[in-house]
Chain A
Amino acid sequence: MSAPLDAGALLDRLADELARWLAQSGCSDPLMVGIHTGGAWVAEQLHARLGFREPLGRLDIAFYRDDFTRVGMHPQVRPSQLPFDVEGRHLVLVDDVLYTGRTIRAALNELFDYGRPASVALAVLIDRGGRELPIAADVAGTVLELPPERHVKLSGPEPLTLAYVERGAGREGGP
Chain B
Amino acid sequence: MSASLQVDAAGRLRHFLDVEGLSRQQLIEIMDTAESFAGVGDRSVKKVPLLRGKTVVNLFFEASTRTRTTFELAAKRLSADVLNLNVSTSATTKGESLLDTLRNLEAMQADMFVVRHGESGAAHFVARHAAPHVGVINAGDGCHAHPTQAMLDMFTIRRVKGEFTPLTVAIVGDILHSRVARSQIHALNTLGVREVRVIAPQTLLPPHVEQLGVQVHHDIVEGVRDADVIITLRLQRERMDGRLLPSKHEYFQLYGLTESNLSTARPDAIVMHPGPINRGVELDSGTADGPRSVILQQVTHGIAIRMAVISMVMAGHAVEATA
Residue from B29, B44, B51 having most chain A Cβ neighbours under 10 A: B44
A109 to B191 alpha-carbon distance, docked (Å): 37
Q: Which residue of A lies closest to B322 (CB)?
A: A70
The stretch among B89-97, B213-221, B288-296, B312-320 that forms the contact with chain A is: B312-320
Known contacts A63-B50, A73-B311, A73-B312: A68-B39 contact under CB 8 Å = no
Known contacts A68-B318, A71-B319: A77-B44 contact under CB 8 Å = no
Specify which chain A residues have a CB less than 8 angstroms from the CB of B321 in the assembled complex: 69
**Is A64 a contact partner of B322 (Cβ separation < 8 A)?**
no
**Is A72 a contact partner of B36 (Cβ separation < 8 A)?**
no
Residue from A60, A63, A70, A114 having most chain B Cβ neighbours under 10 A: A63
**Is A64 a contact partner of B48 (Cβ separation < 8 A)?**
yes
Nearest chain A CB to B77 CB, angstrom units: 10
Nearest chain A CB to B73 CB, angstrom units: 16
Nearest chain A CB to B55 CB, angstrom units: 14
A100 to B47 alpha-carbon distance, docked (Å): 25
Residue B12 at the A interface, CB < 8 A? yes
Residue A161 at the B interface, CB < 8 A? no
Known contacts A64-B49, A80-B39: A72-B44 contact under CB 8 Å = no
**Is A72 a contact partner of B315 (Cβ separation < 8 A)?**
yes
List the count of A-B residue pairs having beta carbons below 8 Å apart: 59
A42 to B20 alpha-carbon distance, docked (Å): 43
A68 to B33 alpha-carbon distance, docked (Å): 15
Nearest chain B CB to A107 CB, angstrom units: 13
Nearest chain A CB to B36 CB, angstrom units: 4
Specify which chain A residues have a CB less than 8 angstroms from the CB of B29 in the assembled complex: 75
**Is A63 a contact partner of B48 (Cβ separation < 8 A)?**
yes
Interface residues in A, total, Cβ within 8 A: 24
Within 8 A of B (CB), among A63-92: 63-64, 68-73, 75-81, 87
Specify which chain B residues have a CB less than 8 angstroms from the CB of A76 in the assembled complex: 32
Within 8 A of A (CB), among B1-56: 12, 29, 32-33, 35-39, 43-45, 47-51
Q: Which residue of A lies closest to B317 (CB)?
A: A72
Known contacts A109-B49, A114-B43, A115-B44: A79-B319 contact under CB 8 Å = no
Residue A62 at the B interface, CB < 8 A? yes
**Is B50 a contact partner of A77 (Cβ separation < 8 A)?**
no
Residue A113 at the B interface, CB < 8 A? yes
6 additional A-B pairs beyond A112-B45, A114-B43, beta carbons within 8 Å, are A63-B78, A73-B312, A75-B29, A79-B39, A114-B45, A115-B44
4 shortest interchain CB distances as A-B pairs: A73-B315, A72-B315, A113-B45, A63-B48
> Can you list 29 A-B pairs, Cβ within 8 angstroms, ordered by A?
A63-B36, A63-B48, A63-B49, A64-B49, A68-B50, A68-B51, A68-B315, A69-B322, A70-B322, A71-B318, A71-B319, A72-B12, A72-B315, A72-B318, A72-B319, A73-B33, A75-B29, A77-B32, A78-B36, A79-B35, A79-B36, A80-B36, A87-B44, A109-B49, A110-B48, A113-B43, A113-B45, A114-B43, A114-B45
